Structures are given as structure tokens and as C-alpha cells.
Amino acid sequence: MSKANIVLNHGTLAIAGELTRHSVAEIKKNAYVNWFAHGAVNVDLSQVNKADTAGLAWLFYLLEQASHHSCELSFSNVPEKLTKLISLSGVDGLLPLASD
């Protein structure tokens, strides 16, 4: 079973493992509020080794949830495979990327 490990440390939300339809379904929705308690959070994707369109949609969901909690969200260290998926999906420029 695929799994995403998520750790929040000093305003950085580090995601490791897989962002797939299987792994995002396992992430508890009640954890999100704690993630967005900071005014700004950077999502570090450097350790993501696999992603599919459901994982990409989940990143947009995170962005929406952060907005609801008045939290500024940015994404950094986007792996090349995920960058290609973003491009193929036609959503270039819609995820706020932090300058790495």
C-alpha cells in the first residue's frame, strides 16, 4: 500500500513518499487545521517519489483549505515528474511556487 508521510516543522510541511489516489485517501482531514495554524506554510515536495492526478488535485485542495484558514501556502522542491504532470494537466502557474 502506498503512503505519504507528512511532517510539519516550523512552518514547513514536508511530504515524503507517494501522492496517489491511494495515499491521499488515507490522510486524515482533521489534521489540516493544525497544518494551517501558521500564517504561512511552505510545502516541501522534495521527497515525493510518485504522484498521479489525484495527488496533484490534493495539492490544489490543500491550497483551497489553506485559503479558508487565512494561511499563505507555497510549494517548493517540486520533483521533475510532478512538474511534468502539472504541465501535462495544463495547470502551469496555478500552484504558488516558492523560490528554491
The model's pTM is 0.90
More confident residue, 2 or 9: 9
More confident residue, 44 or 32: 44
pLDDT of 16 > 60? The answer is yes
- The predicted pLDDT at position 100 comes to 53
Dihedral over alpha carbons 30, 57, 60, 40 (to 10 degrees):
50
Architecture of the structural domain at 4-88: 2-Layer Sandwich (3.30)
pLDDT tens-digit map of 44-100: 999 999 999 999 999 999 999 999 999 999 999 999 999 999 999 999 989 998 865
Q: Is 36 exposed, middle or buried (0-12, 13-18, 19+ CB in 10 A)?
A: buried
Report phi then psi at 17, rounded to 5.
Answer: 100, -135
